[in-house]
């Protein structure tokens, strides 16, 4: 039966204690020449300064493992201490980092004679759950362990337990937990179950031969182990922790590996994801507002491990040969930066209230009101008879008080949910002889109020329609009014142009020299032949007359 879970409210205001990422360095035995790096003590080492070979540079880490360290030394010294947090509901992460050929896969997987971190960690996790269930008080808890195995090949998340070419999507829930829908998950009852699932899946991982490594990993491998602890009795606490064991693909210098074609493309994807990983560490150390987790599938999966809620351990594998000098120096610089990253682990616990377990599942065809249980808990269905169902049969008119006037489809869904919830609460309280004052209004008064509400809505609708009509009439009247004349935009009156007639000399009698009154004419203008003098107006002179109409 599905149950409703909620986060535990125990100590909600306590600040999460910080936990720095633990970084250890493992030196691979030198195969040729003089080494360029050496360990000074259990926590420091030195490497030759490439600018001046007479000088050295020193680094400080949590633990330094020399070339004589065994698999057991590395596991018991750096990995085993973080596994105890799994039963407390806190995440843990172990990451192997380094260049190609430095021994990362050997550190994580190992061999049948020298098992690596992954088989040792799984054996201890299964042993821890068995011991916890057999300890005093352990019978109150149920323990379960499951595993998922995937690889990131050319920015594609591929399932190794169920091999396919489908690129799985990476999601994040509301609690900021990273999820991969569709990823296969296997339950582990013992270490044999782990071997039965893990060994065939490991052979599905993409590997190839290069000039620097005969079995070079061409993808990042991530093993996810989930440890769940559930309480049998109320309040049914449940703690789920996640252990991530990551074997990163090594960085490659294509000038020395001789990669071509597909190998070159794989190398480019590996180096690009590792570059984003370095950018994430830089952003966390600088306190930038945006951490580029989403720029790569690898960093998206490692969001819990770097700057998240996990107890993280980084195993930096380095090669001491001279031709690996710059790869080793780059690995040490990344390890030194990662040591400053701060995580904040916390216990991920959910609990279930007793009422939530007893609540029956909702029946979609049952309607808003559930049937009231019989008042006598000891009465059986046969003793109840048809008479025991009479009280529920008398309530159908009351079951849908709003349906006669206001259909539920026309109301706000949130309002309907609140009304139905209040009515059901009223019915539950009615069995104890109490009624809520909020719903104690008689049916007749409610009907009258609903009638009044409906009439008010009709009046409001009429007022809105009347307002629209008035607005339309006002717009029509405004359009019919004559517009005032705008003299500024009126066309200019046509001006009369003077008509120039040729000059004529007329012999006028002496008695007719004066121009008759009322005669209209124009003044004859003679242009001066000299330029720049302008016009000379001929007045009333002797021997000239007005030429007019």
Q: How far apart are CA 242 and CA 343, in angstroms?
A: 15
pLDDT at 546: 45
DSSP-derived letter for residue 317 is: E
Please provide the average confidence, as pLDDT, over all residues in the chain: 76
Please give the share of the chain, as a percent, with pLDDT higher than 70: 68
Name the band, by pLDDT with cuts 50, 70 and 90, for residue 441. low
End-to-end CA distance of the chain: 118
Annotated binding residue 279: no
Residue 60 φ then ψ, to 5°: -115, 130
Of 121-125, 256-260, 371-375, 487-491, the poorest mean pLDDT is in 371-375
pLDDT at 491: 59
CA angle 217, 223, 225 (to 5 degrees): 170
Q: How far is CA 390 from CA 371, 377, 423, in A?
A: 11, 17, 20
What mean pLDDT do residues 191-216 have?
A: 84
What mean pLDDT do residues 218-232 have?
A: 91
Strand spans (E) along 107-237: 141-152, 157-159, 171-172, 178-179, 186-188, 207-208, 216-217, 220-231
Looking only at the bridges linking them, the beta strands covering 22-27 and 310-318 are parallel
Of 199-203, 206-210, 511-515, the poorest mean pLDDT is in 511-515
Q: Which residue has the higher pLDDT, 508 or 268?
A: 268
pLDDT in tens, 269-324: 888 999 999 999 999 999 999 999 999 999 999 998 999 889 999 999 999 888 88
What mean pLDDT do residues 114-137 have?
A: 91
Annotated binding residue 98: yes
Name the band, by pLDDT with cuts 50, 70 and 90, for residue 180. very high
Annotated binding residue 163: no
pLDDT of 174 > 80? The answer is yes
Name the band, by pLDDT with cuts 50, 70 and 90, for residue 62. very high
Annotated binding residue 102: yes
Q: Which residue has the higher pLDDT, 358 or 66?
A: 66
pLDDT in tens, 89-110: 999 999 999 988 888 999 999 9
Cβ neighbours of 320 (radius 10 Å): 23
Q: How far apart are CA 244 and CA 310, in angstroms?
A: 9
pLDDT at 446: 72
pLDDT in tens, 337-365: 999 999 999 888 887 654 444 444 444 44
Q: Which residue has the higher pLDDT, 422 or 257?
A: 422
pLDDT of 325 > 60? The answer is yes
Annotated binding residue 15: no
Of 6-15, 223-232, 282-291, the poorest mean pLDDT is in 6-15
pLDDT at 449: 81
pTM of the model: 0.62
pLDDT at 451: 82
pLDDT at 237: 86
Question: What are the structural domains of the chain?
Answer: 18-351 (3.40.850.10)
Q: How far apart are CA 332 and CA 59, in angstroms?
A: 8
Annotated binding residue 545: no
Q: Which residue has the higher pLDDT, 521 or 224?
A: 224
78 within 8 A of 114, measured Cβ to Cβ: no
Annotated binding residue 308: no
pLDDT of 166 > 50? The answer is yes
pLDDT at 499: 60
Residue 536 φ then ψ, to 5°: -120, 125
pLDDT at 32: 80
Q: How far apart are CA 371 and CA 391, in angstroms?
A: 10
Q: How far apart are CA 520 and CA 549, in angstroms?
A: 7
pLDDT of 115 > 90? The answer is yes
pLDDT of 266 > 60? The answer is yes
pLDDT at 439: 45
pLDDT of 534 > 50? The answer is no
Contacts 24+ apart (CB under 8 A), 378-385: none
Question: Tokens 């149950």 identify what position?
Answer: 3
Looking only at the bridges linking them, the beta strands covering 37-39 and 91-97 are unpaired
What mean pLDDT do residues 492-503 have?
A: 62
Looking only at the bridges linking them, the beta strands covering 91-97 and 44-48 are unpaired
pLDDT in tens, 352-411: 654 444 444 444 444 434 444 444 444 444 444 444 444 444 444 444 444 434 555 556
Closest to 523 measured CA to CA, from 542, 497, 547, 495:
547
Annotated binding residue 99: yes
């Amino acid at each position: 039966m599905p149950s409703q879970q909620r986060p535990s409210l125990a100590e909600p205001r306590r600040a999460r204690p910080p936990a720095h990422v633990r970084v250890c360095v493992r030196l691979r035995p030198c195969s040729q020449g003089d080494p360029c790096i050496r360990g000074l003590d259990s926590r420091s080492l030195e490497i030759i300064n490439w600018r001046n070979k007479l000088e050295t540079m020193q680094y400080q880490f949590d633990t330094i493992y020399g070339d004589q360290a065994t698999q057991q030394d590395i596991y018991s010294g750096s990995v085993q201490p973080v596994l105890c947090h799994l039963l407390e509901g806190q995440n843990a992460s172990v990451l192997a980092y380094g260049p190609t050929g430095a021994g990362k896969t050997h550190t994580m997987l190992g061999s049948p004679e020298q098992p690596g971190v992954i088989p040792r960690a799984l054996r201890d996790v299964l042993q821890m759950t068995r011991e916890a269930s057999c300890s005093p008080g352990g019978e109150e808890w149920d323990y379960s362990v499951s595993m998922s195995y995937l690889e990131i090949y050319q920015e594609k998340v591929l399932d190794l337990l169920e091999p396919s070419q489908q690129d799985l999507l990476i999601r994040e829930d509301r609690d900021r937990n990273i999820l991969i829908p569709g990823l296969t998950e296997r339950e582990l009852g013992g270490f044999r179950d782990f071997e039965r699932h893990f060994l065939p899946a490991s052979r599905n991982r993409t590997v190839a031969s290069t000039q620097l490594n005969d079995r070079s990993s061409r993808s990042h491998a991530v093993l996810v182990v989930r440890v769940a602890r559930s309480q049998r009795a109320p309040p049914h606490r449940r703690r789920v922790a996640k252990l991530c064991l990551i074997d990163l693909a090594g960085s490659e210098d294509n000038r020395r590996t001789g990669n071509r074609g597909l190998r070159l493309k794989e190398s480019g994807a590996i180096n690009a994801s590792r570059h984003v990983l370095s950018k994430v560490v830089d952003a966390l150390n600088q306190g930038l507002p945006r951490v580029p987790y989403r720029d790569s599938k690898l960093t998206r999966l490692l969001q819990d491990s770097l700057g998240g809620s996990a107890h993280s351990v980084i195993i930096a594998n380095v090669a001491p040969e001279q031709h690996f000098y710059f790869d080793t120096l780059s690995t040490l610089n990344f390890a030194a930066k990662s040591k400053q990253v701060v995580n904040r682990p916390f216990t991920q616990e959910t609990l279930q209230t007793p009422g939530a377990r007893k609540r029956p599942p909702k029946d979609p065809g049952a309607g808003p009101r559930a049937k009231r249980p019989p008042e006598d808990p000891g009465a059986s269905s046969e003793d109840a008879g048809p008479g025991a169902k009479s009280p529920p049969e008398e309530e159908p008119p009351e079951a849908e008080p709003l349906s006669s006037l206001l259909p539920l489809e026309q109301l706000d869904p949130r309002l309907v949910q609140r009304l139905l919830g209040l009515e059901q609460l009223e019915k539950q309280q009615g069995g104890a002889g109490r009624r809520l004052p909020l719903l104690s209004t008689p049916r007749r008064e409610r009907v009258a109020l609903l009638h009044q509400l409906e009439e008010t809505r009709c009046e409001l609708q009429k007022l809105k329609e009347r307002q629209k009509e008035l607005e339309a009439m006002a717009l029509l009247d405004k359009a019919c009014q004559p517009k005032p004349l705008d003299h500024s935009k009126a066309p200019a009156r046509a001006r009369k142009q003077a008509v120039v007639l040729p000059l004529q000399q007329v012999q006028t009698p002496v008695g007719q020299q004066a121009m008759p009154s009322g005669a209209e004419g124009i003044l004859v203008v003679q242009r001066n032949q000299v330029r720049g003098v302008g016009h000379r107006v001929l007045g009333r002179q002797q021997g000239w007359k007005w030429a007019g109409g």
